[in-house]
Amino acid sequence: MGKIVIDPVTRIEGHLKIEAVLDNGVVKEARSSGMMYRGLENVLLGRDPRDAARIMQRICGVCPTSHGLAATFALDEAYGVNGNIPSNGRILRNLIQGSNYVQSHILHFYQLAALDYVDVTAVADYNGSDPSLKKVKEFIARGHLGPFLPRYEGDYRLSKEENRAAVAHYVEALNLRRLAHEALAVFGGKMPHNMSIVAGGVTAEPTIDKIASFYWKLEQLSNFIEHRYLPDVLMVARRYSDYFGIGAGCKQFMSFGVFDLDHHPDLTKRRRYIPQGIVRAADLKLRPLDPNQITEQVENSWYRETGPVHPYDGSTEPDRDKAGAYSWCKSPRYAGEVMEVGPLARMLAAYAGGNAEVKSQIDGVLGQFNAGPEVLFSVLGRHAARAIECKLVADKLKQWVLELQPGRPVCAEYSLDVNNRGMGLHEAPRGAIGHWIVVEGGKTKNYQAVVPTTWNMGPADGKGVPGPVEQSLIGTRVKDQNNPFELVRIVRSYDPCLSCAVHVVTPKGGDLGRFVVG
């Protein structure tokens, strides 16, 4: 028996610790711990509810748009405008959110995950004229492996030329990510933390020059995704094809659906480009989602015990001394069950829901590997799903921006003085995101957010069932315990973001207590 502790796992967002107990080189037990308490607490209580769409974005600089939009969907319902968002408002929300997807997926592959497969030191003796590679070579010559660390040794499988090409794309990706931020800002005002998405619609007016500017940026992004990102993922998949059989996880998937195609007031009935629902590996059927089945529990989390509670009734009272607890993440469950969320869940939902574009892309990739859908439940399945989604979303954005109608309304009117509540469900780049707000006398009375990384990285629940990442780690053979490539490749395939997961909003106020972390 041996134990591997990776703390922190770097090249992700936020502070994550992974512990794996090995028996004969195979992971027998695994723990995923959110290690940073953030304390973005209590700020919404008693405030104008509309502030949620701005303040909740501060949970995370990577996916603020998703939090802003989840808050806005909840506000749409609370203000009773959820059925009359103008078409321009709906489309502009999709464009702002979609730009963030594209940026986030490119970031995940190149800057975060690729270096588990691409050996950056292949550039150390580069003598050619590519300016990006010359720059990286200078970095290495100064003795700085800086942003490329940490790296393990012994399982880099690409040729020197492949490594160098991928490193050049790493640098190119930085520029393309900036372009995606600029695309978001065309209608969102700025990134991070857009100022445009508000209850009722958006504040940005579509104009011909903005439409052209957005389209041109997406054209370049779509080219990069098609000619760099997708081929690079496939190259990694060919060289590391054993990772189609590693990191399966819970094999139950949930999507809240994203990119509205109509204005149905009920979010569970709204038509969305990526559909809502539950998919299990066993039959790949899309089943409807009942938001009342969502609960969070804190059996193994550093919060005062409450049992499973629906987010409308949720609370967040830290208890750092709680016996047996090991994470600042809670354990969200759907109908009491673990669910994996993220691009793989969404692509499976779209695949099972009969989306022809998704089906053709996924079948195309599977065909290249002579494999059936079962290989999708894996490290490489997650990377492939993310890249395919990135391509499809970029292409859709180009189509949707041309559906805008300059001069037509972007926002609906509504009264601020309400007693109501609202639920905002959609999908952040990393998966299903939900915000729940209770408004009384025109002020925020209660607020809860349940986010993707909590679903994926959360600890075991009260029944002892481990979270999705923990399940992915258990049963994995680690070839070299000093270089646990398998473990970090599994964890990073989920694209974890701990700053999203440990946001800590206390709905009822009160003392948050004293914290000792570490």
How many residues form the binding site for Mg ion (CB under 5 A)? Answer: 1
Lay out the site mask for Mg ion across 427-466 (x = CB under 5 A, - = otherwise).
----------------------x-----------------
SS3 for 437-460, per residue? EEEECCEEEEEEEECHHHHHHCCC
Q: Is 500 annotated as a binding residue?
A: yes
Q: What is the DSSP string of 226-261?
A: IIIIHHHHHHHHHHTGGGGSS--TT-EEEEEEEEES
**329 binds Mg ion, rule: CB under 5 A:** no
Q: Which residue, 394 or 449, is less far from Mg ion as judged by CB?
A: 449
Query: Which residues in 137-196 contact Mg ion (CB under 5 A)?
Result: none
Query: Among residues 414, 415, 417, 421, which one has the least CA distance to residue 439?
Result: 421
CA R_g for the chain: 22
Q: What share of the chain is helix, strand, coil (3-state, %, to 5)?
A: 40, 20, 40
Q: Which residue, 329 or 487, is less far from ligand NFE as judged by CB?
A: 329
Q: Is 305 annotated as a binding residue?
A: no
Q: Which residue, 53 or 63, is less far from ligand NFE as judged by CB?
A: 63
Interface residue with ligand NFE, options 16, 60, 502, 505 (CB under 6 A)? 60
Is the alpha carbon torsion for 472, 475, 477, 480 positive or negative? positive
Measured from the CB of residue 454, what is the shortest distance to Mg ion in angstroms?
6
Alpha-carbon gap, residue 214 to 196, rounded angstroms:
15
Q: Which does 394 bind (CB under 5 to 8 A by kind): Mg ion, ligand NFE, none?
A: none
Interface residue with ligand NFE, options 9, 11, 13, 78 (CB under 6 A)? 13
Asked if 249 contacts 339 with a C-beta cutoff of 8 angstroms, the reply is no
Asked if 52 contacts 448 with a C-beta cutoff of 8 angstroms, the reply is no
Query: Which residues in 419-458 contact ligand NFE (CB under 6 A)?
Result: 428-430, 433, 451-453
Q: Is 390 annotated as a binding residue?
A: no
Measured from the CB of residue 130, what is the shortest distance to ligand NFE in angstroms?
32
Torsion of CA 436, 468, 486, 479, to 10 degrees: 160
Measured from the CB of residue 451, what is the shortest distance to Mg ion in angstroms?
7
Lay out the site mask for ligand NFE across 493-512 (x = CB under 6 A, - = otherwise).
----x-xxx-----------
Measured from the CB of residue 190, what is the shortest distance to ligand NFE in angstroms?
18
Query: Among residues 16, 69, 147, 65, which one has the least CA distance to residue 499?
Result: 16
SS3 for 29-95, per residue? EEEEEECCCCCCCCCCCCCCHHHHHHHHHHHCCCCHHHHHHHHHHHHHHHCCCCCCCCHHHHHHHHH
Q: Which residue, 56 or 168, is less far from ligand NFE as judged by CB?
A: 56
Which residues are within 8 A (CB) of 243 and not within 5 positions of it... i.e. 6 or more apart? 237, 378, 379, 380, 489
Q: Is 497 annotated as a binding residue?
A: yes
Interface residue with ligand NFE, options 32, 66, 94, 355 (CB under 6 A)? 66
Tokens for 512?
């948050």
Which residue's Cβ has the minimum distance to Mg ion? 449
Query: Which residues in 458-487 contact ligand NFE (CB under 6 A)?
Result: none
How many residues form the binding site for ligand NFE (CB under 6 A)? Answer: 17
Give the interface with ligand NFE as residue ranges (CB under 6 A): 13, 60, 62-63, 66-67, 428-430, 433, 451-453, 497, 499-501
Residues forming the annotated binding site for Ni(2+)? 60, 63, 497
Give the interface with Mg ion as residue ranges (CB under 5 A): 449
